Amino acid sequence: MSKFKKGGGRSMPGVNTSSLPDIVFMLLFFFMVATTSKEVDPTVQVDAPVGARATDLTPYKQRSEVDFLYLGKPRNPARADDFKMGFALSLDNVVQPTADGLYTTNAVGQWKKDKFDQKPARMTAPIESVITCVKADKSAPSGLIFDIRKELQEVNALTIAYAVRDNTNI
């Protein structure tokens, strides 16, 4: 009689892994839902400049205390000549034209006011402290940014944010 039986007898039952796919799928869905891409795909091309020690806007986004506007090159290069210095301003994915088809910032003030009026009722921050984040292309002329700044000053929206790509961690 041998102590060790070979084959035949009872073998160790394998761990039931049939629920593993479910677990992994759950993880998968979690990541698919939790990671969000940009809320809009801007109609203009924006390649943000690199910066450091910038402030993370996530908490403001969660409280919807920030509005984004984009300043970049139009996606269609042929249209670049239609805009002042070749840069177009996109507000809520609408590239702002003027009567003569040229670039304008005149709509910024009204846009900001409308945005502010549409904010959810739970938001109590006054218009002065609601951030307007300018996402500008790195080669955008600063003059245009100051035009936007002036428009915001007119409607008393006194907090501006200059978007940069910050690769460093705090």
Partner 1 sequence: MAKRELQEINAGSMADIAFLLLIFFLVTTTMDKDTAFIRNIPKKITVTDPVKVEERNILAIKANNQNQLMVRGEIFNDPNKISEFVVKFYRTNERENDPSNNFPMYSTATMELINSQLEDFDRKIEDAENAGSPKEMIEFLNNSYKEWDKKKRALALLGGSQLREISGQAHVRIEVQQATEYSIFAKIQTEIEEALYELRDEKSMQLWGTSYGVLKRKVATEQDKARDEKAKIELLEILYPQRIIEVKPKK
CB of 168 to partner 1, least distance (A): 10
- For partner 1, the binding residue among 61, 63, 75, 113 (CB under 8 A) is 61
Residues 74-103 that bind partner 1 (CB under 8 A): 85
How many Cβ atoms sit within 10 Å of the Cβ of residue 169? 5
69 touches partner 1 by CB under 8 A: no
149 touches partner 1 by CB under 8 A: yes
139 touches partner 1 by CB under 8 A: yes
Window contacting partner 1 (CB under 8 A); options: 96-104, 107-115, 117-125, 142-150: 142-150
Q: Rounded distance, CA 123 to CA 100, Å?
A: 38
Read off φ and ψ for residue 92, nearest 5 degrees. Answer: 50, 45
Close Cβ partners of 52 (under 8 Å, ≥ 6 residues apart): 166, 167, 168
- Residue 12 DSSP class: P
Task: With CA atoms as reference, report the closest residue to 44 among 82, 71, 78.
Answer: 71
Residue with tokens 């300043």: 71
Question: Binding residues for partner 1, how many (CB under 8 A)?
Answer: 58
| Tokens encoding 48 | 């943000």
- For partner 1, the binding residue among 55, 76, 93, 110 (CB under 8 A) is 55
Question: Contact residues for partner 1 (CB under 8 A)?
Answer: 17-18, 20-21, 24-25, 27-28, 31-32, 35, 37-38, 49-59, 61, 66, 68, 71, 85, 131, 133, 136-143, 145-146, 149-150, 152-154, 156-166, 170
